[in-house]
Structures are given as structure tokens and as C-alpha cells.
Amino acid sequence: MKKILSIVCCLLTGTAFIQSCKNDELLNLQNPQAYNPSEVWRDQNLANAYLVDIYASLPGWPVNQGDYADESANVLGPDYVTTSNNNFKYWPYNTIRKINILLTEIDGGTLPEAFKNSLKGQAHFLRAFHYFKAVVYHGGVPILDKPQLLTDSLSVARNSTAECFAFILQDLDNAIKMLPDKYTGADFGRMDKAAATAFKGRVMLYKASPQFNPANPYSNSYWADAYTTNKTAREFLEGLGYGLYPDYAGIWMNEGNREDIMTVIYQNPGKINGRMEHCIRPLGQSKDCTGADNPVWDLVSQYPMKDGKQPGTSTKYPYNVQTFWQNRDPRFDATIAYNGSIFPLGVRADYRQYTDLQLGGLVDGFGPGQQFNRSGFYTRKGVDNSLSQAQVALNAVDWVEIRFAEVLLNFAEAANETGHSDEALAVLKQIRQRAGIEAGTDGLYGLKNGMTRLEMRDAIYQERFIEFAFEGKRFWDMRRLRRMSELNGKAKSGLQAQLKPGLDPNDRSKVFVPTDFTYTVRELIINGPRQMVLPESYYFFPIAQGEIEKNPKLKQNKDWGGTFDPTLQ
């Protein structure tokens, strides 16, 4: 796929750049803008480039999505979402038109059958991906499976949410039939049967969810389908060699490992800084930006202890805010950089990051109401420690949209809701074992024995919070499970560090360690909107008013002044 990315860069930037490309098969191409569209489907390079242009529509790193939930520092204030602004609107019909052109016209060309089917299978996947995202945002949307012509009516009504799910699943089934099991080598990053099968499991989990079934959230028939689909996905992927990567901290830096199922590739040069590392790093080791994905106390305090017990409940590892970093779930140190912790950042292996106002200063330190809402923490996930401050925007860490841990936890969730709690428990134990949590004498990794269905549901929800921190899942999980009320009206907190009395911050002979400070939990924002606003209407976002004005057949969602019911019930 990295080769493909270079091909599309050449094809889409014109003759001058084509002459500098190193792919020999491209050197003699005419200006692609001058091509007759019908020639695209007679030339493998052009057809490939057309598809890779569609791949560019896939989302990258979900930076700052933790602001929507209880992961990072900012808040959703009053009227963050309205019918007239662009927040939480997803209307991907330009991309869908490109996909429909491919699926409609490719059979009229002369491409080899196997190559053509590969492109069609990938296109079916990509169309399903975009339709699914639109449905998660808005509920049912208009289904267009062919490119609209000037002679067509451009005013199309919304299909029901049930019809949209059926269409998405049919696209995924078509993709699964047409695609190879697994792309590797130069083709890594293309959508294959593994990605389509895993993604189908995600789709079925949403279809069964409380978001779409508020009147019958956990006893509807879709849960059985979700269980079967996710079990099939797990078994199929394991058969292909997918599994949990042994080193949780190394998942992102060891790209293309056995956990990566659906990957959006970044490379230097060409496609860089998807992680926005220049904004995620402390400003003292970055430039021009900071405060992105800043962990808040709401997340930090939830990491279990090394024995898997929640802080304050473990008898083996007593907990105190003053030593909050000690004896935690190893995912804590893999994800959270805290005051006085070692955080190399291209400086040196023993470089320590300070977040107090004396050593960290106004640049990196936390004090309530401070600019940029610094919280006293920074995130490590996806950060390339090898880059110097001057190179910070060169981060090219791949974004993994689906990894095997999600497949496992999707399966666990569906298993719990269909009477297979033993299978759900086995997954949680597997996830915690990989994390490095101690098994304990009972082999339960800190989990409660004999959990009820509700207790297991909460345990899975909590595990996803920790496992997928800053991977863009928390807000959507809260929404999918209709649990946004847990955060509605709440303020976020940070942790303020202060040097203990008698210690001199100007003493260059001393290396200050975390125990040299005292810690106080403080409300993070004291100016402007302080509390999260997550009303019931956010379970389905409105169609943009501008789209409705262009197409009067579109009905607005019922919680936004319209009559359209976006649920399945």
C-alpha cells in the first residue's frame, strides 16, 4: 500500500511531478487530467490510482475526540451541536459518488477479472464504511448505489435505518466474497476479507445496541446476530494468524504487527503527522501547539492496580493520590506521561517531563484555568519518542482503525448479552493477561467471580475505556450504549503538582522524581464553559440544515424539530 500511495501521488499531481516519480510503469503516462474516464477501466495503474484516491477519505488518528468524553481536557459546552453548524455532521456523498462510478463502470473496461474483482471488493467495503459512519451519526440516510446523472432527480428521501443497515451488510458480504483473506507486503493497507469480516462485527454490535434500540436495548434479536458475526470474525482472524500483540506499549511503533487488521498508512515523506504529535507533546519539546489529547484525572484515576483491582479496593497494592503512579496496570505507563516521569521525546533516554509550575513552568505546567487546559498529564500513545523537537511534525505512525483487541471485546460484549458470560470472561482475562496484569491466585486478573450480566456489561465497558484510551472509541461507546448521562453536567479535573517545602527548583545537582512533589486534584477549567453538555438529542445528530434546504425531501430527526425516527424501533 505504501507503493500504491506513491503511485497515486504521481497520478494526481500532474505531468511535472510524474516525471520525478520512481515507479517505472508511470513514467510514460499522459497527464491524468486529460484522460477520457473510460480509459481508467482499461489501465491497471489508472484504476488503482482512482481507488487509492477514495482511500484518502478514510479517517486518520482521532486526535482530540477524547474531549467529547472523559479522556481529555476540553468540554462540549452548550449548543456545541446545532442544525446550522458543522459539528457532528457526516454527509459523505462526494466520496460515495466516486465509489458508485467505479462499481458502475468498471465492468465495461478490459481489466483482468481478478484485478477488477479486487477493486470492486475494496470499493464495496469503502462504501459500507462511509454509509455506516453516516448512519451512526444521523440514523437512516439516502441510499444511492449508482452515480446520479444530471437527468436524475437530485432530491432523494432518507431510507430507514433498517434499510441502511441491510445495505451496509450487503456491501460487506460482497466485499467478503471478492477479497483475498489478507493483503501483505506492498499491498498491506488495502481492505481485505479480514478487515471486512472484523468491520461487519462492529456494524452488528451497533445494530444491536441501545443507541438504535432504546425501547429494547439488551433483549432484542440483533444481539444473537452480533454474537454469531463476531464469533465468526474472531475465529476467521485467528485462523489467519491475527491475535493480541504481546507488547501493549509497542502496538503503535511496531507497525504491521499481528494485531493490525485495518490500517491507515502514514509515511515520511508524503503523509505525515496524522497523530498531530506537534500538538500532543508538551510545548517545551514541541512547537506552535500543545494541549491535544491531554489526559484528565477522570481517565488517569480509572486505571486498575497491577492486580487488576480498582484503586482503593486492592489489599495487595494500597492506593494513595500522592503515589498515584505506583503499582498500576502496565497500560498506565504505556499511555500516561505524568509529572517527573521519564519521557524521552528525542532529547535523551532519561529525560523527565515536569508538569508543575516551577519546573514545568507556564509552558508545560498545570494550574487551574491555565491557557490550553493543560491537565498535568500528557499521552504517550502513538508518540514517536525518537523524533527531536525540530522533527516533531514528521511523525508517520500508522493509524490502526481496527485491531484484534476490538474484535475480542466486540465478541465479549455480544457474548455477555446472549448468555455466554463464560466466553466474555475469558476475553477479559486474555486482554488483561496481555496488558501485564497479575493473574492472582484465582486466575481472574482482578475480575470478580460469578459476575451478573449487568456486572459483566460494566466490566467490558470499563475495559474498553482503558484498552482503547485515545483511540477514538470512548465517546462513541458512551453514545452507542446510551451512557452519556454519566458525563452530562460534569466538570473535568487535572492533577496539580507542587514541589515539597525545602526543595529548591534551581538546584541543578538534583534530579527531581515524582515523590518530590505533592499532588492535588483540581477542576481543570474555571473560565468559560466548565461542564459537559450531552443531552439526549445527541444520540442522533441532526442533518445539516443546508442539506435540507438543498433537498426538501430530507426529513430532519425527530429530536431536532423533524419527524424522522432514526432508531430501529
pLDDT of residue 8: 42
pLDDT of residue 385: 94
pLDDT of residue 290: 87
- Report whether 552 contacts 566 (CB < 8 A): no
Please provide residue 551's backbone torsions phi and psi, each rounded to the nearest 5 degrees.
-135, 95
pLDDT of residue 557: 98
- Report whether 356 contacts 496 (CB < 8 A): yes
pLDDT of residue 397: 97
pLDDT of residue 369: 63
pLDDT of residue 13: 32
pLDDT of residue 370: 64
**Distance between CA atoms of 278 and 282, rounded to whole angstroms?**
8
pLDDT of residue 475: 98
pLDDT averaged over 10-residue windows placed end to end, the chain, 569 residues? 44 29 33 64 96 96 97 94 98 96 96 97 98 98 89 84 98 98 96 98 98 97 98 98 97 97 96 95 91 96 98 97 98 98 95 96 83 87 96 96 98 98 98 98 97 98 98 98 97 96 94 98 88 97 96 96 96
**Distance between CA atoms of 393 and 391, rounded to whole angstroms?**
6
Three-state secondary structure of 183-251: CCHHHECECCHHHHHHHHHHHHHHHHCCCCCCCCCCCCCHHHHHHHHHHHHHHHHHHCCCCCCCCHHHC
pLDDT of residue 526: 84
